[in-house]
Structure 1
Amino acid sequence: MAKEKDSNLFEYTEDSIKSLDWKEHIRLRPGMYIGKLGDGSAPDDGIYVLVKEVLDNCIDEYTMGHGKTVEITIEGKQVTIRDYGRGIPLGKVVDVVSKINTGAKYDSKAFQKSVGLNGVGTKAVNALSNYFKVTAVREGKEKTAEFERGELTKEHKETKTSEQNGTMVSFIPDDSVFRNFKFHYEYLESQIWNYCFLNAGLKIVFNGKTFVSKNGLLDLLQRKTNEDEIRYPIVHLKGDDIEVAITHNNDYGEDIYSFVNGQHTTQGGTHQQAFREAYVKTIREFFKKDYDASDIRTGIVAAVSVRVVEPVFESQTKTKLGSLNVDINGPTMKQFVNDFFAKELDNFLHKNSAVADSLKKRIEQSERERKEMAGIKKLANERAKKANLHNKKLRDCRVHFNDEPPAKSKEDYISRQQETTIFITEGDSASGSITKSRNVDTQAVFSLRGKPLNCFGLTKKVVYENEEFNLLQHALNIEEGMEGLRFNNIVIATDADVDGMHIRLLLMTFFLQFFPDLVKHEKVYVLETPLFRVRNKQETIYCYDEGEKQAAIKKLGGKPEITRFKGLGEISPDEFARFIGADMRKQLMRLEQGDHIQALLEYYMGKNTMDRQEFIINNLKVELDKAEEAA
């Protein structure tokens, strides 16, 4: 053993230390720069981060007063983004997109409160693209450079042009990194709307469709709420470097959209926490009553946007703000937001007594409901605490979404947090297959014993009275809201039969009724697993519908063996690993603009109506027609 140790010691030499250049490091550790990879089926997949990184530069130009229009075109897998700002200085076109630590963002006079402070964004896009082309136009001249996976392939000479000033970037994401990817336009449109809400007057044209907002965050909240479900008209307040919009509805939980320098901070940060605390403090002082903080914030729907000099984000994907100061030598974020609320919100409530009365009624309703639940909540939490020590329902993972990343390898840890997933399964056979094949680092499994309770029309007491719901709530860590969520992806994994569909509906009812924030913030998915396995001696193809099955039969020829999977438990753990790994297919559960949660629940989970029967019959007919066509 001693000799073996000695030989290992001598193998560790200067030659063992590798220095990667910028593009090699990005390609080796893409998650550090763009979060999770994915295939485009989730709104935070890497291909949308690539689009965002290029767009951020366009928005910074607009913020600095240069160019009022941005054009985005997507044809197949190629993205082209054109702004009408100042254009990259022609002599630096190659350097700006291919040399780390090169860019105008380091000169804080040019970009005082920009999004892309570290100059990595477009370099990451370049390194992670099969093809990348940048053209800069300045004062009648243009310069173009072309790259493949970060390698410069052609640097064009400067030429004269009649084009307007600005920058155009065109890229095709690398399909060896983003496998089988596809752009879902609804995710891009949601992203584009956020840019418009945060930059009133900016016009973004996406594939010929124009997006523009006149009223900023007021428009955003109108889009996120339904007029007949809010308790009072949206309160819209603006100040230097801060804008907020606030209302309440009848939902449980908090629904807060936070932004820094135009960047959607989906994981919050110091500004969101400052908002939550300042709002509670101002309300208590206005009503001169020490309301419980949870009563004040239950049912809140709000958006807050701040502009900060040199913000410090937790990662390159900029989803969580870590900086505390608004200005380099100015007030802390907490003090800044608190001062704004103490003046502006207090003034508004004094001038609008009807809004103040409606707000007070909402707070007192929450207070009554909380007190009614106090006894059973305490008992249920004690039971859950004991159960958590030996919770047979939960097979946990090592990394969690709400962990504090370690100082060492922080970026790598944050990228793994994006992958954290909990599979909610039915029965022992399905959970057994997933448990054996999962990635224990980032994937957890919660096993249901059968069909959960239909909680439509019930109060939140049922979350505590029902042991299974209570344990699920604790596994997710959402009792106190989204802040402590332990998993970035909540995936419902049930059989693709009538019972499995029923369980999906019951779980969706649970989330929409009591934790709608999870659906609104696009955290809940349904796992798609193959219905068929078609194989011969040379090749095996897994098919997710009848059409794919027919295509596989045609491809393999002859008479291949066809297996129909009736349930998740029939798929072996070895096979299952490929369906929950890099190529996992999952369908996002999302609310469309104008959807009413209570109306949706009434339609699907209420008394059996003729409308619903007609809906089921019509959709069943469509599926049968598709199957017949494929056959």
Structure 2
Amino acid sequence: MAKKQTYGNESIQSLKGADRVRLRPAVIFGSDGIDGCQHSIFEILSNSIDEARQGFGREISITRFLDHSVQVEDHGRGIPVDYNPKEERYNWELVFCELYAGGKYNNDSGESYEYSLGLNGLGLCSTQYASEYMDVDIRRDGFRYTLHFEHGENVGGLRKEPYAKKDTGSLIKWKPDLQVFTDIQVETDYYLDILKRQAVVNAGITFHFRNETAPGKFETTDFCYENGILDHAKELAGEDFLTPVQLWQSEKKVRDRADMPLYNTKINVAAAFSNRTHVAEYYHNSSWLEHGGAPDKAVRNAFVYQIDAYLKQNNKYTKSESKITYQDVEDCLIIVISSFSTQTSYENQTKKAITNKGIQDAMVEMLRHNLEVYFIENPMDAEKIANQVLVNKRSREDAEKTRLNLKTKLTGKMDITGRVAKFVDCRSKDVNERELFIVEGDSALGAVKQARDSNFQAVMPIRGKILNCLKADYDKIFKSEIITDLIKVLGCGVQVKSRANKNLATFDMENLRWSKVILCTDADVDGFQIRVLLLTMLYRLTPALIEQGKVYIVESPLYEINSRDETYFAYDEAEKAEFLKKLEGQKYTIQRSKGLGENEPDMMNLTTMNPKTRRLIKVLPGDASYASYMFDIMQGDNLAGRKEYIAEHGAEYTDELDVS
């Protein structure tokens, strides 16, 4: 019997020292996986960036080693680690072993940092706690200081020796601990991305990335934007921009609430319009705000407000036309904002969004003012922007109207029998037994209709040649009556996701009306072509039906062999030979199997419809993909591929040629 657990006063405990991070890394880093490991690296890098931005050292090097250890070196003033009389402790203990300790709390003293990436005093200590080991090498005040940590604990204390050279700075090498993080294999892409972003928002600072590719061998990539976000926005806009990049800057004192103290904020904006690309990037105190927060809200407010005001003033809207939305602006906007503040409210320690109301209000005011002035001073640019935003708006509304119409058309509840020409339903309402036979032409419809079991088997005829869905765009596909009728009959909608037609109709497997969708075509060239076209359509519009094994092909017999006693159906040459051997010495007749429309109902039932005697081939995802590939080769635009395929495989089909 399990021992009963008591819950009393002794049950309450607190984590101490390194365990505060090592046992709960996600609280500090947002995750105990690779994202958290990446953030721990950024915490060390951010301290070096703060130094460089204050004007102490203009180069930062970060090295990724083969064993996934990391080194960050700067040429700043060097981290203070000696004895601190005020705290009556050594600074290295405070900085590397004490959460909420650092030199960035007092924003009014003028002794430290005005705008800082690190504000909470968590980064250096928390990364040290989360490391397998950490080595620290600091040069400052004519001394060299070294420290060594293992699994969050200091080993050997502080070592201090005279240093005759004039250079200063900090070098920290460490290895993230697999006892803390589930994954420490940070890929080069992370370093390249984060260093490029930091170069963008820290104008003139050079970042060197050294990547160890073999023991002792390094590849170096350098990042530097002399004009910061202005150069980056121009890079994004390219040569074919709609309007040139504008740089706006502002600095003011703000407060987040009427009863709260004032603090400084500095806002830098680079903005342009393009009909080819759109990008929105927000940074605060150098940290990339992946989720935006206050800057994103400010941009939405200011740009919609000011562009809408311009459209109204210049009578750009048609009568009763609705107002633009941010989506219409966003689709042609390139904007990079780098803001700073002496007080920052992040959503959490991972710094992916800020929530300061004062910063948001200052941004709205600044963006509205600068846009208004820009439109007045640059009337031609204003006209281009207004026209492009209206094009985006009207295209969006047309696409939405098309989407809603198609959704109703393809998935709405309806009387299918009356709405789809020549479709013959079955009586059963049980989806688990209902079967849909897709056949070619009216003659096959008549034969299958007579041969089927009307309780659970329905028939849908394909009238004429079906569209090649591999090559056609969605607008053309959904104008095809054959295709829209078939989608109606299926009932589950379509899986369409593209930039121009975002989710045209919602696909729902629960609305599929059939347990089996069976392709029933003649065993001749035309029949094979129709089958491939149908497979290609299903592969593009409803791939889930194939993935979940709902699509089948009826295997039609090649030969009908009649003896005095029995009739045999041979589905290939080997079966034909086997039956003929069995009938040796008996009289028999042999003939090519007839087309679907020529068979007697009893014969059709036996070979095609009856679950006990028919042969069905389940279509697997690879089959549909291969069919799509072969259709592209044989009837698509790939002329070179077709020529190559025929040259390589043509001889395999010579026996099937009908040459007299």
Q: Same fold (TM over 0.5)?
A: yes
Please list, as runs of the form range in 1=range in 2, the aligned pairs for 1:327-346 lying within 5 A after superposition. 333-334=360-361, 336-346=362-372
For 2:197 and 2:236, locate their aligned partners in 1 and report how far apart those are by CA, in whole Å. Answer: 11
Match of 2:78 among 80, 87, 95: 87
Contact between 2:494 and 2:507, CA under 8 Å: does it hold in 1? no
The verdict on how the C-alpha distance between 1:204 and 1:38 changes in structure 2, with shifts beyond 3 A counting, is same
For 1:611 and 1:70, locate their aligned partners in 2 and report how far apart those are by CA, in whole Å. Answer: 52
| Matched AA of 2:324 | D
The verdict on how the C-alpha distance between 1:288 and 1:184 changes in structure 2, with shifts beyond 3 A counting, is same
For the pair 1:96 / 2:95, whether they are aligned, the reply is yes
For the pair 1:185 / 2:188, whether they are aligned, the reply is yes
| Matched AA of 1:266 | E
The verdict on how the C-alpha distance between 1:314 and 1:611 changes in structure 2, with shifts beyond 3 A counting, is farther
Contact between 2:496 and 2:504, CA under 8 Å: does it hold in 1? no
Q: Hey, what does 2:562 align to over in structure 1? A: none
Match of 1:355 among 354, 375, 381: 381
Q: Hey, what does 1:303 align to over in structure 2? A: 336
Match of 1:293 among 312, 325, 332: 325
The verdict on how the C-alpha distance between 1:463 and 1:90 changes in structure 2, with shifts beyond 3 A counting, is closer
| Paired residue total | 404
Quick check: 297-306 or 48-57, which moved more?
Answer: 297-306
SS at match of 1:313: coil
Please list, as runs of the form range in 1=range in 2, the aligned pairs for 1:119-198 lying within 5 A after superposition. 119-161=121-163, 162=165, 164-179=167-182, 181-198=184-201
SS at match of 1:205: strand
SS at match of 1:46: helix
Match of 2:393 among 367, 372, 391: 367
What TM-score does the superposition give when structure 1 sets the normalisation length?
0.57
Residue 287 of structure 1: CA displacement?
A: 4.1
For 1:51 and 1:223, locate their aligned partners in 2 and report how far apart those are by CA, in whole Å. Answer: 27
For 2:50 and 2:411, locate their aligned partners in 1 and report how far apart those are by CA, in whole Å. Answer: 48
Contact between 1:37 and 1:47, CA under 8 Å: does it hold in 2? yes
With a CA cutoff of 8 Å and minimum separation of 6, indicate the structure with the bigger relative contact order: 1
Q: Deviations over 1:366-387 (max 9, x none)?
A: 1221332453455678999999
Q: Hey, what does 1:278 align to over in structure 2? A: 302
Q: Deviations over 1:8-63 (max 9, x none)?
A: 6xx21222111101421211221121123434xxxxx2232122111111111122
For 1:368 and 1:93, locate their aligned partners in 2 and report how far apart those are by CA, in whole Å. Answer: 61
For 1:166 and 1:613, locate their aligned partners in 2 and report how far apart those are by CA, in whole Å. Answer: 65
For 1:383 and 1:342, locate their aligned partners in 2 and report how far apart those are by CA, in whole Å. Answer: 43
Q: Hey, what does 1:238 align to over in structure 2? A: 249
RMSD between aligned residues: 3.8
Q: Deviations over 1:310-355 (max 9, x none)?
A: 10111110111122224xxxxxx22x11221233222223333332
For 2:28 and 2:106, locate their aligned partners in 1 and report how far apart those are by CA, in whole Å. Answer: 22
For 2:368 and 2:146, locate their aligned partners in 1 and report how far apart those are by CA, in whole Å. Answer: 52
The verdict on how the C-alpha distance between 1:611 and 1:143 changes in structure 2, with shifts beyond 3 A counting, is farther
Residue 212 of structure 1: CA displacement?
A: 0.7
For the pair 1:36 / 2:31, whether they are aligned, the reply is yes
SS at match of 2:283: strand
Contact between 2:403 and 2:505, CA under 8 Å: does it hold in 1? no
| Matched AA of 2:397 | K
Contact between 1:94 and 1:145, CA under 8 Å: does it hold in 2? no
Q: Hey, what does 1:248 align to over in structure 2? A: 273
For the pair 1:219 / 2:231, whether they are aligned, the reply is yes
Answer 1 or 2: which has greater helix percent. 1
For the pair 1:466 / 2:472, whether they are aligned, the reply is no
For the pair 1:20 / 2:15, whether they are aligned, the reply is yes
SS at match of 1:234: strand
SS at match of 2:195: helix
For 1:284 and 1:470, locate their aligned partners in 2 and report how far apart those are by CA, in whole Å. Answer: 42
SS at match of 2:43: helix
Q: Hey, what does 1:263 align to over in structure 2? A: 287
SS at match of 1:36: coil
Please list, as runs of the form range in 1=range in 2, the aligned pairs for 1:573-612 lying within 5 A after superposition. none
SS at match of 2:244: coil
Contact between 2:99 and 2:126, CA under 8 Å: does it hold in 1? no
For 2:639 and 2:26, locate their aligned partners in 1 and report how far apart those are by CA, in whole Å. Answer: 49
Contact between 2:292 and 2:352, CA under 8 Å: does it hold in 1? yes
Residue 469 of structure 1: CA displacement?
A: 10
For 2:14 and 2:126, locate their aligned partners in 1 and report how far apart those are by CA, in whole Å. Answer: 18
For 1:365 and 1:296, locate their aligned partners in 2 and report how far apart those are by CA, in whole Å. Answer: 10
The verdict on how the C-alpha distance between 1:386 and 1:93 changes in structure 2, with shifts beyond 3 A counting, is farther
For 2:13 and 2:410, locate their aligned partners in 1 and report how far apart those are by CA, in whole Å. Answer: 49
Residue 359 of structure 1: CA displacement?
A: 0.9
Residue 143 of structure 1: CA displacement?
A: 1.3
Residue 454 of structure 1: CA displacement?
A: 7.8
Contact between 1:112 and 1:309, CA under 8 Å: does it hold in 2? yes
| Matched AA of 1:137 | R
Residue 288 of structure 1: CA displacement?
A: 3.9
The verdict on how the C-alpha distance between 1:276 and 1:451 changes in structure 2, with shifts beyond 3 A counting, is closer
Q: Deviations over 1:374-402 (max 9, x none)?
A: 53455678999999xxxxxxxxxxxxxxx
For 1:610 and 1:36, locate their aligned partners in 2 and report how far apart those are by CA, in whole Å. Answer: 52
SS at match of 2:95: helix
The verdict on how the C-alpha distance between 1:85 and 1:15 changes in structure 2, with shifts beyond 3 A counting, is same
| Matched AA of 1:320 | A
SS at match of 1:463: coil
Can you give the 5+ residue segments of structure 2 that lack an aligned partner in the other structure? 83-90, 211-219, 252-265, 318-322, 414-491, 511-535, 545-619, 623-635, 644-660
For 1:470 and 1:122, locate their aligned partners in 2 and report how far apart those are by CA, in whole Å. Answer: 51
Larger-gyration structure (1/2): 2
The verdict on how the C-alpha distance between 1:341 and 1:174 changes in structure 2, with shifts beyond 3 A counting, is same
Please list, as runs of the form range in 1=range in 2, the aligned pairs for 1:318-467 lying within 5 A after superposition. 318-326=351-359, 333-334=360-361, 336-377=362-403, 452-453=495-496, 455=498, 460=500, 462-467=501-506
| Matched AA of 1:29 | R
Contact between 1:268 and 1:321, CA under 8 Å: does it hold in 2? yes
Residue 180 of structure 1: CA displacement?
A: 5.2
For 1:71 and 1:276, locate their aligned partners in 2 and report how far apart those are by CA, in whole Å. Answer: 37
For 2:201 and 2:641, locate their aligned partners in 1 and report how far apart those are by CA, in whole Å. Answer: 39
What TM-score does the superposition give when structure 2 sets the normalisation length?
0.55
| Matched AA of 2:363 | V
Contact between 1:79 and 1:171, CA under 8 Å: does it hold in 2? yes
Residue 464 of structure 1: CA displacement?
A: 4.8
SS at match of 1:206: strand
Contact between 1:82 and 1:169, CA under 8 Å: does it hold in 2? yes
Contact between 1:265 and 1:319, CA under 8 Å: does it hold in 2? yes
The verdict on how the C-alpha distance between 1:15 and 1:206 changes in structure 2, with shifts beyond 3 A counting, is same
Q: Deviations over 1:457-515 (max 9, x none)?
A: xx73x3353323999xxxxxxxxxxxxxxxxxxxxxxxxxxx9xx989x99xxxxxxxx
The verdict on how the C-alpha distance between 1:568 and 1:341 changes in structure 2, with shifts beyond 3 A counting, is same
